[in-house]
Structure 1
Amino acid sequence: MVDVDRQGGFAGWLAAAGILWLVLSLPAEPGALTGAAVAGIPLELPLLLLGLAACPQRLARVARVAVTLVLTASVVLKLADLGTGIAFRRLFNPVLDGPLLVAAWRLAEGALGVVPALAAGLAIVAALVLVAGLCWWATGRLVDRVPVGRRLAAGLLAAVCLGLVALDMSGAAGLPGGAKTSRWAVEHVSAALDARAELAAFRTEAARDPWAGATPGALLPGLAGIDVLVVFVESYGRSAIEAPLYAPTVMAALDDIGAALARQGLAARSGFLASPIVGGQSWLAHATLLSGLTIDSEGKYRALLGSPRRTLLHLGHKAGWRTAAVMPAITLAWPESDWFGYDRVLAARDLGYRGEPFGWVTMPDEYTLAVLERDLLSPPDRPPVMAAVALISSHAPWTPLPPLLPWEAIGDGRVYTMALRAGEPPEVVWRNEDRVRDQYRLALDYSLRSVGALATRPVARPRLLVVLGDHQPAAFVSGDVGGRDVPVHVIGPPDLLARLDGWGWTEGMAPARDAPVWPMDAFRDRFLAAFSKLGASG
Structure 2
Amino acid sequence: MPTRERMALIVALVLLVALPLVPGAIEAGSALGLVRLPAESLVVILVLSLIPARPARIAVAGVFGALVVVAIALAAIDRVYRTTLSTSFDPADPQSLGDGFSVVADAIGAATAVAGLVLLIGVGVALGSALAWAALRTDGAIRRHRGTGRAALTAVTAAWIVFALIGSQTTAIQPAAAAASADTIGAAVSRASTSIRAQSALERASAVDAYASVPPSALLGGLRGKDVVVVFIESYGRAAVEGSSFSPGVDAVLQQGTAALSKDGYGMRSAWLTSPTFGGISWLAHSTLQSGLWITSQAAYDKVTATQRLTLADVFRRAGWKTVSDVPRDTKRWDVGRSFYHYETLLDARNVGYRGPSFGYARIPDQYTFKAFADRMLAPGHRPVFADLDLISSHTPWAPVPQLVPWSQLGDGSVFAGQPQQGPSAQAVWEHTETIRDAYGRSIQYSLGALFSFLQNVDDPNLVVIALGDHQASTIVSGENASHDVPVSIIARDPAVLGSIDGWHWQDGLQPGSPAPVWRMDAFRDRFLSAFSPQ
TM-score where L is the length of structure 2: 0.92
Give the letter for the 2:271 counterpart: G
Superposed CA offset, 1:393-414 (max 9, x none):
0001111111111111111112
Look up the SS of the partner of 1:456 in the other structure. helix
Once residues 54 and 357 of structure 1 are traced to their aligned partners in structure 2, the CA distance between those partners, rounded to angstroms, is 61
Give the letter for the 2:528 counterpart: F
Q: CA deviation at 1:508?
A: 0.7
Q: Where does residue 80 of structure 2 map in the other structure?
A: 83
Superposed CA offset, 1:281-313 (max 9, x none):
001111110111011001110111121211000
Q: Where does residue 225 of structure 2 map in the other structure?
A: 225
1:476-491 matches, within 5 Å, as 476-480=476-480, 482-491=482-491
Superposed CA offset, 1:503-524 (max 9, x none):
1211111101121110000001
Pair 165,182 (structure 1): closer, same or farther in 2 beyond 3 Å? farther
Once residues 288 and 26 of structure 2 are traced to their aligned partners in structure 1, the CA distance between those partners, rounded to angstroms, is 28
1:516 aligns with 2:517: yes
Q: Where does residue 392 of structure 2 map in the other structure?
A: 392
475-484 or 393-402, which deviates more:
475-484
Once residues 31 and 500 of structure 1 are traced to their aligned partners in structure 2, the CA distance between those partners, rounded to angstroms, is 46
Once residues 409 and 149 of structure 1 are traced to their aligned partners in structure 2, the CA distance between those partners, rounded to angstroms, is 87
Pair 320,162 (structure 1): closer, same or farther in 2 beyond 3 Å? farther
Give the letter for the 2:297 counterpart: S
Q: CA deviation at 1:83?
A: 2.3
Once residues 423 and 458 of structure 1 are traced to their aligned partners in structure 2, the CA distance between those partners, rounded to angstroms, is 29
Q: CA deviation at 1:33?
A: 2.7
Superposed CA offset, 1:154-203 (max 9, x none):
6756765786698699xxx9842543333332221111111121111111
Once residues 340 and 168 of structure 1 are traced to their aligned partners in structure 2, the CA distance between those partners, rounded to angstroms, is 58
Q: Is the 8 A contact 2:238 2:472 kept in 1?
A: yes
Q: CA deviation at 1:130?
A: 2.3
1:67 aligns with 2:68: no
Q: Where does residue 137 of structure 1 map in the other structure?
A: 133
1:442-461 matches, within 5 Å, as 442-461=442-461
Once residues 403 and 160 of structure 1 are traced to their aligned partners in structure 2, the CA distance between those partners, rounded to angstroms, is 67
Q: Is the 8 A contact 1:240 1:250 kept in 2?
A: yes
Once residues 313 and 164 of structure 1 are traced to their aligned partners in structure 2, the CA distance between those partners, rounded to angstroms, is 62
Pair 166,310 (structure 1): closer, same or farther in 2 beyond 3 Å? farther
Q: Is the 8 A contact 2:237 2:485 kept in 1?
A: yes
Q: CA deviation at 1:218?
A: 1.0
Look up the SS of the partner of 1:228 in the other structure. strand
1:466-477 matches, within 5 Å, as 466-477=466-477
283-292 or 133-142, which deviates more:
133-142
TM-score where L is the length of structure 1: 0.91
Q: CA deviation at 1:151?
A: 6.2
Once residues 44 and 2 of structure 2 are traced to their aligned partners in structure 1, the CA distance between those partners, rounded to angstroms, is 16
Q: Is the 8 A contact 2:74 2:184 kept in 1?
A: no
Give the letter for the 2:42 counterpart: L
Superposed CA offset, 1:40-59 (max 9, x none):
30442662475266343424
Q: Where does residue 434 of structure 1 map in the other structure?
A: 434
Look up the SS of the partner of 1:340 in the other structure. coil
Look up the SS of the partner of 2:424 in the other structure. coil
1:6-155 matches, within 5 Å, as 8-27=4-23, 32-38=28-34, 40-44=35-39, 47-48=42-43, 50-51=45-46, 54-58=49-53, 59-96=56-93, 98-147=94-143, 148-149=146-147, 153=151
1:196 aligns with 2:196: yes
Gaps of 5+ in 1: none
Look up the SS of the partner of 2:346 in the other structure. strand
Q: Is the 8 A contact 1:237 1:484 kept in 2?
A: yes
Q: Is the 8 A contact 1:253 1:445 kept in 2?
A: yes
Give the letter for the 1:258 counterpart: T
Q: Where does residue 310 of structure 1 map in the other structure?
A: 310
Give the percent of matched residue pairs that are identical in Structure 1 and Structure 2. 32
Once residues 521 and 81 of structure 1 are traced to their aligned partners in structure 2, the CA distance between those partners, rounded to angstroms, is 26
Pair 495,28 (structure 1): closer, same or farther in 2 beyond 3 Å? farther
Pair 341,164 (structure 1): closer, same or farther in 2 beyond 3 Å? farther
Q: CA deviation at 1:502?
A: 1.1
Q: Where does residue 170 of structure 2 map in the other structure?
A: none
Q: CA deviation at 1:29?
A: 8.5
Look up the SS of the partner of 1:350 in the other structure. coil
1:290 aligns with 2:290: yes
Q: Is the 8 A contact 1:402 1:419 kept in 2?
A: yes
Once residues 176 and 414 of structure 1 are traced to their aligned partners in structure 2, the CA distance between those partners, rounded to angstroms, is 64
Look up the SS of the partner of 2:418 in the other structure. helix
Q: CA deviation at 1:139?
A: 1.9
Pair 289,167 (structure 1): closer, same or farther in 2 beyond 3 Å? farther
CA RMSD of aligned residues (A): 2.5
72-81 or 308-317, which deviates more:
72-81
Q: CA deviation at 1:101?
A: 2.5
Q: CA deviation at 1:273?
A: 0.6
Pair 253,101 (structure 1): closer, same or farther in 2 beyond 3 Å? same
Look up the SS of the partner of 1:202 in the other structure. helix
Once residues 182 and 488 of structure 1 are traced to their aligned partners in structure 2, the CA distance between those partners, rounded to angstroms, is 43
Q: Is the 8 A contact 1:282 1:470 kept in 2?
A: yes
Once residues 310 and 7 of structure 1 are traced to their aligned partners in structure 2, the CA distance between those partners, rounded to angstroms, is 73
Q: CA deviation at 1:110?
A: 2.1
Q: CA deviation at 1:439?
A: 0.5
Pair 137,531 (structure 1): closer, same or farther in 2 beyond 3 Å? same
Give the letter for the 2:354 counterpart: Y
Q: Is the 8 A contact 1:276 1:484 kept in 2?
A: yes
Once residues 433 and 126 of structure 1 are traced to their aligned partners in structure 2, the CA distance between those partners, rounded to angstroms, is 30
1:255 aligns with 2:255: yes
Q: Is the 8 A contact 2:141 2:149 kept in 1?
A: no
Q: Where does residue 299 of structure 1 map in the other structure?
A: 299
Give the letter for the 1:70 counterpart: L
Gaps of 5+ in 2: 168-172
Superposed CA offset, 1:126-175 (max 9, x none):
22222223223322321224234456556756765786698699xxx984
Q: Is the 8 A contact 2:21 2:181 kept in 1?
A: yes
Once residues 26 and 382 of structure 2 are traced to their aligned partners in structure 1, the CA distance between those partners, rounded to angstroms, is 52
